[in-house]
Amino acid sequence: MSSHKLLIKSLELASKNHAQQKRKSDGSPYINHLIEVTALLTDIAEIDDADELSAAILHDILEDTDVTRDELYKTCGNRVLELVEALSDDKFLSLEERRKETLRVLPNKPTAVKRIKLADLCSNASAIPSAWSIDRQREYFQWLDQVAEICKESSLELHNEYLRRRAVHITE
């Protein structure tokens, strides 16, 4: 499949299955987050690998929608499936357990997974819900900082973007 076709199929799958989801921070369509993560990879990390960009578009599809691994494989192929699986949390675990598991397994993940995760952190660092208490924000950023440090080697440019966004949020 051509790279253009793969990206369009990924956007189509994401927009269809995340259609009713909204960002917690501002109620905007969730697809905006997926596009932002992908744009960060192209614009800042200068990634043009269609599989990696498709995985960025679809990074939450397995954990946040009813799309199955089989459907993802049939639509986008094995490499995209593997990257998305590597980025997906086990929703049967508590939030605390998922965070610990991420910190445990992330160091051994492929560079592409770390880069997508870092782009995801950049987007999330700019989208903190206004209703969150200072303590909740502080705790969240402590975890984000740990993840960003693990992913730093995958793209220093994205890591610097994360630090810039974090600093903007902290000073607000």
99 token code pair: 């965070």
Q: What is the pLDDT of residues 4-27, one digit of tens each?
A: 999 999 999 999 999 999 998 888
Active site residue 63: yes
145 token code pair: 């900082």
Active site residue 89: no
Q: Give the dihedral of Cα atoms 43, 45, 163, 141; nearest 10 deg.
A: 100
First to last CA, the chain: 45
Q: What is the pLDDT of residues 116-169, one digit of tens each?
A: 999 999 999 999 988 889 899 999 999 999 999 999 999 999 999 999 999 877
| Rounded distance between C-alpha atoms, residue 137 and residue 77, angstroms | 37
Q: Is the pTM of this model over 0.85?
A: yes
Query: Which position has the token pair 């993802």?
Result: 72
Q: What is the pLDDT of residues 36-80, one digit of tens each?
A: 999 999 999 999 999 999 999 999 999 999 999 999 999 999 999
Would you give the DSSP letter of residue 132?
A: S
Name the active-site residue from 64, 71, 82, 85: 64
| Rounded distance between C-alpha atoms, residue 87 and residue 68, angstroms | 15
Name the active-site residue from 43, 49, 60, 63: 63
